[in-house]
Structure 1
Amino acid sequence: MRIAVDARCAADRGRTGTHTYVLNLLAHMVRLSKETGKAGFDFLCYTSEPPCADVVKLCGKEGRAFITLPFPWRRNRLWVDLRLLPRLLRDRPHILFLHHLAPLLLTPFPVVTTVFDLAFLHFPDHFPRRSRFTLKRNTAHAVRRAERVITISEATKRDLLEIYGIPPEKVSVTYPGVDQYHFKPCVDSGTFESVRQRYRLPEHFFLYVGALQPRKNLIRLLTAYTTARSRGIEWPLVVAGPRAWLYEDIVAALDATPGVRYLDYVPFADLPVLYSLAGAFVYIPLYEGFGLPVLEAMACGTPVITSSVSSLPEVAGDAAVLVDPYDTEAIATALQRMAEDEELQRALREKGLARAREFSWERCARETLGVFEEVVKGVRH
């Protein structure tokens, strides 16, 4: 079975959620197909730029090929219509696996597409106008054009069924995993202290990891943190993440809030140590399709405070403190309780480590390959 993959994110130098999902899933699908003797799977990964060296290392060389189709604007739909589609008609895959939701002209082979979330419909004001229009158009086209839609949480599946009215059997939920080899408690004292000194971190602090954009709810977190400080909580709040979009007010609030340190983008290699150093991880977005940072923190043994909405209760289970992301008093109370209650910290560390082990890229790969097989069998019949 030839599986064509939209792998444009392989050229990304930074690590986004889509980048993490596509590349880990791809690597584990190929590995799994080899280990289980399913040698009939052949992966054709199409990019508009050569993949990064770390991508090639992660994905390896057996069982797949990265095929570069150069184009000036790799996110543009014209790459799909002018470069990808002609190559697909030549290569004739059995499945086309899409993630960027680019609209396609009619093709003679089935499409499986991943929808990560519908945040642009729930919070349209949190997106630039052009991005909002593109996402709205492309998603509506993709979910109706696709033979099967894969999504990463039951919460997003419910959104898809309610908003687009597609039949439930067309949507499959495959939970992402967490890389347990990378995200794990740091036990090397030298590495521990090196990262602490590099970022000038204290013994105890709250940590946020994620992009700066309105949906991440940082303004309310800062308000709640200020309230917690007024009650005697001395832990600083460390914010790590790149500036994404509509971030100007967020950056101004970070600068104006006492006790806050903004680290900007932190290299992927440093994240497990940063999580391990933190006294608690605080992540209270208004909406998430999944919430990978929550799992990453848990896998590193860090107690978590997160939102009680959208997919986050699915991810966290009973291994985190859940709060209403609109209620700054509840957030402040959770911060105070976490900083003062060492027994709560210990319990959440243990529960978080166990919870993180329930999510694996191997399972995600196995379930995704199962979807491909079902689709191909359905087309043949």
Structure 2
Amino acid sequence: MRIGINTRFLLSSKMEGFGWYTYEVVKRMVKQHPEHEFVFFFDRPYDKKFIFGPNVKPVVLFPPTRAVVLIISWFEFALPAALKNEKIDIFFSPDGFLSLRAECKQIGVMHDLNFLHHPKDLPLRFRWYYNKFFPKFAKKAERLLTVSEYSKQDIVASYGIEPAKVKVAWNGASETFRPVTEQEKQKVRIQYAGGEPYFLFVGALHPRKNLKSLLKAFQIYRERGNKGKLLIVGANLFATNHMEASLVAEEFRSDVHFTGHLSLEELAKVTASALALVFVPYFEGFGIPLVEAMRCGTPIIAGNLTSLPEVVGDAGILVNPFDTAEIATQMQRLFVDEQLQKDLSEKGLQRAPLFNWDFTANAVWSVIEEVGKEL
């Protein structure tokens, strides 16, 4: 088969969620299936490290998809012509974007439908695009994959899709994430938190990540006389600046540190050295930072909505993401209870192997094979 893949999120300068999903899954498929040809479709000059084998042909299509009108141009005009020219049998899109004008069979990964349930979280043009095109993508696709049972049920119910059309394949996490020694932890604490223990958030600074509640909870936690810092790792999405340390009272503002985007290696050290990951989005399709924390043996406090309980299982403390006093109470509880820290660390390490990119890649390939039999 000739398999076309949307690789526009493979960006050497800044890899985020879709990019890592694409990297981990597609790299494995290319290496495990040398008998097939893969055509990678980029929307800008690419890094050669993303060409994972001799069975890969890179193609750059204009224009770079930086705005809604350019996304439409790329997927509905440039891509269909390229798919036909390259004689693609199946097009696989790890970010869920498909082409309504393409003639070949298509498979998309829809990670979640936040834009449907919380449209005001997106700028107006992106809100319009997602809600106009994604229902059509769901129907156009030969098969769909998603990253949690929660997201599957949401897609089925929201778009009227047959359950058999949607396969669940949990995400994994990089093997770079692992426990570190106490000495290594202290070095990271000195670098990022003045030598103090710190709570950690990881994710794009997007409204649904609920940073406002986390910052308010941290202020309550500190007002109760507790010690520690809050480290927030992630870049702004859609160029928003709504999440600022100024949301915290001035006396505690210096205890909140926004790091921006970190390299994978640095993020792994920061995650492994945290007192706990506090991850309380009000909508999430999966939550890879949860698995990264599990791999490190870092305790977890997580929201109890959407997919998060499915991912966390018994390996973390679940809280109402809108109850800032409850979040603060659980932060305080975890700070003082060393046995609880140890118990959650062990449970996380035990649960982490359930989330493996090998499993994800094999699940994706099984769907591609199913569709390939219909050619």
Q: TM-score, normalised by structure 2?
A: 0.92
Equivalence for 2:334: 338
Report the number of matched residues: 369
Match of 1:301 in 2: 297
Asked if 1:368 corresponds to 2:360, the answer is no
Match of 2:192 in 1: 199
The corresponding residue for 1:36 is none
Once the two structures are superposed, residues 86-126 of structure 1 have per-residue CA deviations (whole angstroms, 9 ceiling, x without a partner) of: 12112222211123444524433211011111001111111
Aligned to 1:185: 179
Q: 2:312 aligns with which of 312, 316, 320?
A: 316
Matched with 2:86 is: 91
Residues 121-270 of structure 1 aligned to structure 2 (within 5 Å): 121-180=116-175, 182-187=176-181, 189=183, 192=185, 195-245=188-238, 247-251=240-244, 252-253=246-247, 256=250, 257-258=252-253, 259-270=255-266
Letter in 2 for 1:110: K
5+ residue gaps, structure 1 = 34-38
- 1:65 equivalent in alignment to 2:42: no
Where 1:208 maps in the other structure, the secondary structure is strand
Q: Is the 8 A contact 2:169 2:364 kept in 1?
A: yes
**Post-superposition offset of 1:224:** 1.5
1:40–1:268 CA distance, 2 compared to 1 (3 A): same
CA distance in 1, matches of 2:155, 2:343: 36
8 Å contact from structure 1 (residues 29, 362) kept in 2: no
The code of the aligned residue for 1:15 comes to M
In structure 2, what is the Cα distance between the partners aligned to 1:273 and 1:91?
42
Partner of 2:108: 113
SS state at 1:76 partner = helix
| In 1, Cα distance between equivalents of 2:41 and 2:239 | 31
1:67 alignment partner, SS class? strand
Whether contact under 8 Å (1:291, 1:312) holds in the other structure is yes
Residue pair 1:11, 1:47 contacting (<8 A) in 2 also: no
How far off its partner does 1:195 sit? 4.0
The 3 A distance-change label for structure 1 pair 319 and 229 is same
Q: CA deviation at 1:246?
A: 7.1
Write the distance in 1 (CA, Å) between the matches of 2:272 and 2:96.
35
1:286-307 superposed Cα distances (whole Å, 9 cap, x missing partner):
0101100111111111111111
Change (3 A) 1:73 1:366: closer
Residue aligned with 1:125, SS: helix
- 2:11 is matched with 11
Q: Aligned residue for 1:49?
A: 44
Q: Tell me the percent identity.
A: 34
1:100, 1:361 → 2: CA distance? 16
CA distance in 1, matches of 2:177, 2:321: 26
CA gap 1:284/1:62 in 2 versus in 1, 3 angstroms: same
Residue type at the aligned position of 2:21 = Y
Cα offsets for 1:294-333 (capped at 9, x unmatched)? 1111111111111111111111111011111111222111
Letter in structure 2 aligned against 1:66: P
| In 2: Cα distance, 1:275 partner to 1:197 partner | 14
Q: 1:26 to 1:262 in 2, by over 3 A?
A: same
Deviations 1:255-291 (A, max 9, x none): 8454322222222220011011111111100010110
Evaluate the alpha carbon distance shift between residue 271 and residue 345 of structure 1 in structure 2; reply closer, same or farther with a 3 A threshold.
Answer: same
Contact 2:299 2:348 (8 Å CA) reproduced: yes
Distance 2:185 2:95 in 1: 37
Q: C-alpha distance in 1, partners of 2:47/2:283?
A: 31
TM (normalized to structure 1)?
0.91
- Tell me the CA shift for residue 76 of structure 1: 1.8
Q: State which drifts further: 104-113 or 273-282.
A: 104-113
- 8 Å Cα contact 2:40/2:59 also seen in 1: yes
1:207-259 residue CA offsets vs partner (Å, 9 max, x unmatched): 11112121111111122222222222111111121122474332131584543
Residues 154 and 343 of structure 1, relative CA distance in 2, 3 Å threshold = same
Decide whether the 8 Å contact of 1:27 with 1:60 is kept in 2.
yes
CA RMSD of aligned residues (A): 2.1
Cα deviation for residue 41 of structure 1 reads 2.4
Distance 1:103 1:362, change over 3 A: closer
The one-letter code sitting in structure 1 at the alignment partner of 2:18 is T
Structure 2: how far apart are the matches of 1:284 and 1:224?
11
Instruction: Name which of structure 1's ranges 229-238 and 148-157 shifts more when overlaid on structure 2.
Output: 229-238
Distance 1:198 1:319, change over 3 A: same
Bigger CA drift: 79-88 or 209-218? Answer: 79-88
Q: Give the conservation status (yes or no) of the 8 Å contact 1:11–1:49.
A: no
For residues 60-93 of structure 1, give each alpha carbon's deviation from its aligned partner in whole angstroms, at most 9, with x where no partner exists.
3233222222425465221223322112112222
Question: Structure 2: 5+ residue runs without aligned partners?
Answer: none
